[in-house]
């Protein structure tokens, strides 16, 4: 579904991605693991087209997207949940939730979203940024479930959240997978990642340095500890 090859990326003068290459198959949940500054978020941003400069090849369902603008990439069926969540302060919860245009049929209906996230339903009229951190994360994920996008890019959805909320996000990701959606997940917390993912790519210094299947995680624990420095 997604094939990344020779991906280079820059923030101004700073060269942050050095030939990133990996694949994601349809229906998979795949993580990018790695330390701070390894290039995980930059890789997601490059796929979404919001990194200031990128070269190389990013093919989505066979189509080359590395030269497209973010809105064109979104219209192909890719949706992004940024690390900082990106909840709009000048919009209500309802406006935040319904902001992303529906780009294809097959999105999750609002009623189902309210069933998954009852908290959001109670706060529809509130200002988006008045929600708690966990609720804002739910909102950020919920609003891209509606759009019919088939590949979801989730950037550290568990960062800074309480364990009970992390569990709810884990259930949501498994639910998305059950619906046939594909998820590329950036994580530092591999204890969480292993509860949802099929495969893990490890990034270091702007490169993919390893790929570990979820079932091979235990056997590779020493190696992984070395990569992540935990």
The 16-55 site mask, x for binding other proteins (CB under 8 A), equals --------------------------------xxx-----
Any contact of residue 178 with other proteins (CB under 8 A)? no
Task: Select 143 or 194, whichever has its Cβ closest to other proteins.
Answer: 143
Among 53, 69, 122, 213, binds other proteins (CB under 8 A): 69
Any contact of residue 70 with other proteins (CB under 8 A)? yes
Residue 149's contacts (CB-CB under 8 Å, 6 or more residues apart) are: 74, 77, 78, 79, 103, 104, 107, 181
β-sheet with 14-24: strand ranges across: 14-24, 2-11, 53-60, 63-64
Would you say 216 and 47 are in contact if contact means Cβ atoms under 8 Å apart?
no
What does residue 134 show for φ and ψ, rounded to 5 degrees? -65, -45
Q: How far apart are CA 56 and CA 4, in angstroms?
A: 8
Task: Select 44 or 166, whichever has its Cβ closest to other proteins.
Answer: 44
Q: Considering only the stretches 10-18, 86-94, 109-117, 188-196, report the one whose residues sit in contact with other proteins under the rule CB under 8 A.
A: 86-94
Residue 218's contacts (CB-CB under 8 Å, 6 or more residues apart) are: none
State the residues that interact with other proteins by CB under 8 A: 48-50, 69-71, 73-75, 79-80, 82, 86, 88-91, 95, 98-101, 103, 144, 147
């Amino acid at each position: 579904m997604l094939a990344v090859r020779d991906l280079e990326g820059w923030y101004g003068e700073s060269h942050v991605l050095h030939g990133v290459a990996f694949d994601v198959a349809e229906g998979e949940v795949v993580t990018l693991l790695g330390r701070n500054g390894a290039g995980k978020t930059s890789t997601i941003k490059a796929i979404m087209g919001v990194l200031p400069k990128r070269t190389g090849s990013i093919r989505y369902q066979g189509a080359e997207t590395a030269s497209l603008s973010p809105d064109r990439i979104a219209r192909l069926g890719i949706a992004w949940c940024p690390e900082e969540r990106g909840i709009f302060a000048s919009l209500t919860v309802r406006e935040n939730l319904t902001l992303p245009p529906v780009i294809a049929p097959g999105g999750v209906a609002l009623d189902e979203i309210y069933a998954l996230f009852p908290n959001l339903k109670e706060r529809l009229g509130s200002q988006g940024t008045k929600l708690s951190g966990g609720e804002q994360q739910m909102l950020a994920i919920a609003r891209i479930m509606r759009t019919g996008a088939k590949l979801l890019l989730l950037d550290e959805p568990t960062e800074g959240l309480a364990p009970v909320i992390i569990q709810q996000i884990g259930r949501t990701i498994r639910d998305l997978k059950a619906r046939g959606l594909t998820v590329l997940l950036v994580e530092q917390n591999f204890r969480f990642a292993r509860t949802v993912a099929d495969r893990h790519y490890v990034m270091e210094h702007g490169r993919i340095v390893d790929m570990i299947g979820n079932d091979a995680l235990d056997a590779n624990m020493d190696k992984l500890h070395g990569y992540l420095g935990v």
